[in-house]
Structure 1
Amino acid sequence: MKIDFSKKWIQRMISLEGDFAVGAGINALDPTPDSFIEYKSGAGKSHLALSRFVQLMRREQGITIDRLAELADIETSELLNIEQNYQYAPEPRTVYQLANYFHVSRSRLMQISGLSSKRDTDLIYESVRFAASSNPLAKLTPEEREALDIFVKVLEDK
């Protein structure tokens, strides 16, 4: 079966759309919920904090990426992506496992990883502040240790 639309009919339909964006293909068939858009758009602000948090916690314990992956029961490649790619969106299971391993709030770690539509502005602020005050490659300085301790307290359940 072939469906033919006249040019006049198509132009009429376009005029009815007004200023709305018209999509075609899979995006038109499966619209993205608003909560998903919010979740994705705000995620980048705190990915750096997640990366730095994992790096500093691992370094504080004196373990390798491979050993942390083994202890937390997560994929080494996923952990590498978290630590080295600030735009990487980790799997929910990975964040859950890391929260359990580091004994911090799962919901708060989900927020700073961008996996939660819930947005605690104070947590995001503290995440950015923490990320800005740490160096992921050097030995933990007293200032970094203090910043890490404060951030762990922020991540713990209230």
Structure 2
Amino acid sequence: MLLNFSKEWCIRKAREEYGYNINAGSDLSLRHTNCEYNSCSTTQYDGARVAFGKLIFQLRQKNNLSYEDLARKANIDLKELKNIEINACCIPTPRTVYTLANFFNLNITKLLQLAGLTEKREKRIEEKALAFAASSEPLKKLSSEEIEILETFVAVLSEKE
């Protein structure tokens, strides 16, 4: 697949990411190959990634998408998608996070932060992420309260910088 980005697009995206360190090729010693399930070290475990996985899970459920549907429609790896949702040690690829942000119409920079792919972090996002992760229950239909919390969290992630 050949990507063709204009110079103007690259400059605009660089300005949007000003002040953030985006790890396009993060430290391989911290990554699990293809987000394989393994035990985490404390440096790999990140509470925000728990919220990231739950967010993707709930957005997928809210949109009545199976794993296969979302992977196909968003053009992302099925195995990585599943691991994002169930494995807090999974460090997703920047491409997958970028694609999911576009698919669900979320702020790319904030979703990269939530996925643990930036060094600079907004305290507000971390607080909302932890509240969101603590309030959601997996593997059931979303309650009206969970939908409200999800929509509040999505609103924060959708804000333009």
Instruction: State the TM-score, normalizing by the size of structure 1.
Output: 0.73
Could you list the runs of 4 or more consecutive aligned residues of structure 1 that deviate by over 2 angstroms after TM superposition? Answer: 40-43
Cα distance, 1:42–1:124 mapped onto 2, change above 3 Å: farther
Which structure shows the higher helix fraction?
1
- d(CA) in 1 for partners of 2:92 and 2:74? 14
Unaligned stretches of 5+ in structure 2? 1-22, 31-42
- d(CA) in 1 for partners of 2:118 and 2:143? 31
> Partner residue of 2:155?
153
> Partner residue of 2:50?
48
Match of 2:138 among 130, 136, 142: 136
Amino acid at match of 1:154: V
Name the larger-Rg structure.
1
Contact 2:83/2:90 (<8 A) preserved: yes
- d(CA) in 2 for partners of 1:157 and 1:97? 17
Instruction: State the TM-score, normalizing by the size of structure 2.
Output: 0.71
CA RMSD of aligned residues (A): 1.8
- Give % identity: 38
Unaligned stretches of 5+ in structure 1? 1-34
Aligned length: 122
Contact 1:43/1:113 (<8 A) preserved: no
- d(CA) in 2 for partners of 1:43 and 1:123? 17
What are the Cα deviations for residues 18-77 of structure 1, in whole angstroms up to 9, with x where unaligned? Answer: xxxxxxxxxxxxxxxxx979xx74860201100100000000011101110011110000
